[in-house]
Structure 1
Amino acid sequence: MKFLVLLLLVVSQCAKAHNPLIVDIISSENFSERYQAFLQGRSVLDVTDFRPTTQGSHIEIIEMVLLQQALFLGGETREVVFNPKPSVNILEFTDMIAGESLILARTVWHEDVINYRGSVYVSDPVVKFGEYEAGIYVAKRNQALHQTTQDGLEQLTLVANPRWRVDWHALTNSKMNLVSFIGPWESMLNMVETDIVDGMLVNFSVSESLQLAFEGRDYVPIEGVKMVLPDSRHFIVSKRHPEGAQIFAALNRGLKELRRRGVIRKALTESGFINRKVRDWTVINRAMLPQEPKP
């Protein structure tokens, strides 16, 4: 009998090894390479230090780590394999709705999936409402804009993509002038570089100076001001995938435990996503935040 139990355990482990959990990821980004560089040979389950090893945005890598740790804590112990998929992007959920994709490696804005809740499970928030802050980035060479005052913001022209609804809502609740542009993020940066517009809204870089470097060009945030993007971010799981309900249950159990242990807040803070350097900067769209009731 003991031999039979041992044999069943071995067979079970082999089945898990040959039946990995497939998690889709955007193929047009270099997340997979940056993820491996961040791990530096560590098991993802052993990661307790979330400080970045590269410049630029780090939140995508942290989400890949938190996703796997949450799944494991929730009881889903299979190996996670990331599947770069051209059809996966931040606004297109066709594969999720059809059940062809099980889960995404990135969180999404709640507003972007609110109309799809019949087709996707929405996890507890990873980034809570009010935690996502961004700066108004201008070309570093454009020295005149670096110290723009709050009154001077009204004179600025910013490029924004109206399909990025949370960004768009935040900006339309400011006094800055907007140029609507539906196209790649890289093209928007180029518009800043070539003075077609003054700047654009970008989540803060993890570099010590908050400077963003892209293709040999440097961008910096206007000092002293920031915007809060008024929404929360969540993982989503397909309801139509055969494993959807099981994976979602494990994911949410794990996220609750990570939140209870303080790991999510620690990860967002150490990664620079919740950026201590801008803690005292003025929120220029504060009116969009929930107001404390007056006594």
Structure 2
Amino acid sequence: MYSENFTQRYYRFLNGRSPYEIKDFHASTKGSHIEIIEMILLQQALKLGGIDRPVIFNPKPSINILEYSDLIAGDSLILARSVWHEDILNYRGSLFVSEPIVKFGEYEAGLYVAKRNVHLHNLAKTQLEKLTVVANPRWKVDWRALHNTDLNIVSFIGPWETMLEMVETSVVDAMLINFSVSSTLELNFENRLYVPVNDLKVFLPDSRHFVVSKRHPEGRAVFEALNKGLEMLRNNGTIEKALKQSGFINEKVKDWQTINIQMLKPGQP
């Protein structure tokens, strides 16, 4: 099974507990927490679905085409974190795609600016045409979301850290980032502080799913167990609780304006 290398933070969060006994999903480590939560939900879903054996994670530096290649070939069974549905459309013949762990309409992010740039903290929606935001065109969902706003997009293909450095050095004004789990929504990266533009958020127009190899000999059985378990976790409220307690669905920005609201499907809130 593949995962970005969140191993150390994962074990710090467990703190000796079994992943199956986790009921409280509040963050206890710095950095994005959703990856840790997904590792736990994946294991809980598999057990509920009837797969009662330990899950062994094989960390990799990133999710990329090579990982999909291993899944397609049947050399790897499942990814340990969710992926955008759009990113695996071309591989659906080779991959089982689970029910969504993050449903369409649930993924929101903020326009993070350097905290020292106080003049950017309270921009109105009507002022967005003045704001430059760095974005990677290979991140298709982010790219499409931003192109449905009045923001000025600066294309950059490179590491996330370099993009954040562009914000720090004022090459650009902002970067689209998951809302921080801190009480103030402040992001502290290498002792540099960033905050979201107040009262504005961006909806990312896609759902996220676990994927399982069709060619792996255990693929179908694991997929069926996974979907069964995910349905149970969805029905008993565990998935919603996990996403909210982890800060992924951030209650602090519940009433903020969605600047690309037109992308929501009819009937969505």
- The normalised TM-score by structure 1 is 0.88
8 Å contact from structure 1 (residues 97, 120) kept in 2: yes
Q: Give unmatched runs, 5+ long, in structure 2.
A: none
Equivalent position of 2:97 in the other structure: 122
8 Å contact from structure 1 (residues 90, 108) kept in 2: no
The letter of the residue matching 2:63 is: N
Equivalent position of 1:156 in the other structure: 131
| Partner residue of 1:200 out of 160, 171, 175 | 175
Aligned residue runs from structure 1 range 145-184, under 5 A? 145-184=120-159
The letter of the residue matching 1:74 is: G
How many angstroms apart in 1 are the aligned matches of 2:65 and 2:156? Answer: 16
Q: Give unmatched runs, 5+ long, in structure 1.
A: 1-22
| Partner residue of 1:229 out of 197, 204, 213 | 204
Equivalent position of 1:268 in the other structure: 243
Tell me how many residue pairs correspond in the alignment: 267
Aligned residue runs from structure 1 range 7-26, under 5 A? 23-26=1-4
If you compute each CA radius of gyration, which structure gives the higher value, 1 or 2? 1
For residues 230-275 of structure 1, give each alpha carbon's deviation from its aligned partner in whole angstroms, at most 9, with x where no partner exists: 0000000011111111111111110011111110001001111110
How many angstroms apart in 1 are the aligned matches of 2:84 and 2:217? Answer: 24
Alignment RMSD, CA only? Answer: 1.2
- The normalised TM-score by structure 2 is 0.97
The letter of the residue matching 2:59 is: P
The letter of the residue matching 1:89 is: I
For residues 213-244 of structure 1, give each alpha carbon's deviation from its aligned partner in whole angstroms, at most 9, with x where no partner exists: 11111110000000110000000001111111
Equivalent position of 1:95 in the other structure: 70
8 Å contact from structure 1 (residues 91, 112) kept in 2: no
User: Percent identity over the alignment?
Assistant: 62
For residues 118-173 of structure 1, give each alpha carbon's deviation from its aligned partner in whole angstroms, at most 9, with x where no partner exists: 01100000000000000000011111111111111111110000110000000001
CA 1:292 to 1:251, structure 2 compared with 1: closer, same or farther past 3 Å?
closer
Deviation at 1:41, TM superposition (A): 1.1
Q: Which consecutive segments of 4 or more residues in structure 1 shift more than 6 A? A: none
